[in-house]
Amino acid sequence: MSTQKFAKLLGWISLAVVAAILYLGLWPYNVRMASGAHWQGNSKNGVLGIFPPNNVAWLKDGAGLRFGKYGSIFSKTDFTATANQTEGCTIEVWLEPAVTEDFTTTLAFSTETNRLQFRLRQQEDALYVSHDTPGEKQRLRRQRIWIDHVFQQGERVLVALTSGPNGTAVYLNGKLRQRYENFRLRSDEFTGRMIFGDSPMGHDTWGGTLLGLAIYQEERSAGQVGEDFRKWNTGDKSQLARVHSPRALYLFEEGNGRVAHSAVAGAPDLEIPETFQTLRPRFLQPFWTEYTGDSHYFVDIFLNIAAFVPLGFFLRGYLKIGAGIRRDLLTTAICGFALSLTIEVGQYYLPMRNSGTTDLITNTTGAILGGVIFGTAFVQTRIRALRLKMSKTKSRLVEARKIS
């Protein structure tokens, strides 16, 4: 095979690899989702939706919302601070998890300046609560608590966090589970936009059923929390608004539509978007904040490196043999970085993806590794042998045609 034809072959393979990487990196639907592009509206007046539908639906046999694998709801406006902010506050969430195998964000409050102001997470069967508060020089300081064996698949549980000057108490179904003296919440932490079912920055979705949510601007006693559980559990939830005057109370009794209203005045409505969205997507999140240290993190690193190795291999071959570029490895690295940057910028606009710098590093590393592999003596020897074999095979075919 001539050098020119071999270089053209490498060029076409490189383009095919680029197309495959772009498809996998920018396709807006997760491959595990049952639905991708979908028709919004009726058959006559609808339009083709390019983002996945929001998997949130009203319960048919009672009050509540069911969250599928990818679903979330937001407050339509900010929860605002009241004039008499106190050190006492309580939040009660009546829910039923679908699984106890994932690490997910159940509920969060987020502002522009403090995106993870408050988070309530389900980590397998454990409850994880964190809040970011301004410390020295206004740097955010994260405090967290962890309670094991809180959630069971398909089992309803009322999680109540009540906090005051002496710390925070965690109640499960009206019974005290744990008290934390050094972990304190303030009522002004439940401000900004509220999101249920996902992290404010996305890609941390929770699955299950949300049956009710209440926020109080006071620390509640063990007796009050126990009475609240009785009302939630017996269906006498409307009494919560009349007796204790919560700051916000969502009973999810609407049964249809895309808005859930608070049973008390002054709290914002909760919106159920038609398509799955991210409240506050991050653009090129710094790699040191993306680090988690779990097995999924290292698997992703391996896959991101491996995905760009073929690109580096074939692209360096084309640049070296076909284009005759002297600094072919450096050019390969720059091209790999540019392709990865294109994907990360695009993923900022996709709710199923995260835009981060870790992928920039791993993808570029993969492209360099592929280029280095192409330049090894072992590969070069095999390429020369393959080209010679292909040339001999072509010569034999030509001779055979002449004879015939």
253-285 tens-digit pLDDT: 999 999 999 999 999 999 999 988 888 888 898
- The model's pLDDT over 27-77, given as tens digits with 9 standing for 90+, comes to 755 444 444 444 445 445 544 445 778 999 999 999 999 999 889 999 999
Cβ atoms of 190 and 91 closer than 8 Å: yes
**Among 208, 210, 252, 247, CA closest to 100:** 208
- Domain span(s) for CATH 2.60.120.200 in the chain: 56-271
Give the span between the Cα atoms of 249 and 264, in whole angstroms: 6
Task: State in Å, rounded, how far the first CA of the chain is from the last one.
Answer: 23
Q: Is the CB of residue 185 less than 8 Å from the CB of residue 131?
A: yes
Q: Which fold has domain 56-271?
A: Jelly Rolls (2.60.120)
pLDDT digit of tens for each residue in the chain (404 aa)? 677 888 888 999 999 999 999 988 887 554 444 444 444 454 455 444 457 789 999 999 999 999 998 899 999 999 987 756 667 899 999 999 999 988 899 999 999 889 999 999 999 999 999 999 887 766 888 999 999 999 999 999 999 999 999 999 999 999 999 999 999 999 889 999 999 999 998 878 999 999 999 999 999 999 999 999 999 998 777 778 766 679 999 999 999 999 999 999 999 999 999 988 888 888 898 998 788 777 878 999 999 999 999 999 999 999 988 777 889 999 999 999 999 999 999 888 877 778 899 999 999 999 999 999 999 999 999 888 887 887 777 677 767 776 76
The angle subtended at Cα 51 by Cα 50 and Cα 55, nearest 5°, is 140
Residues facing residue 95 across a β-bridge: 157, 210
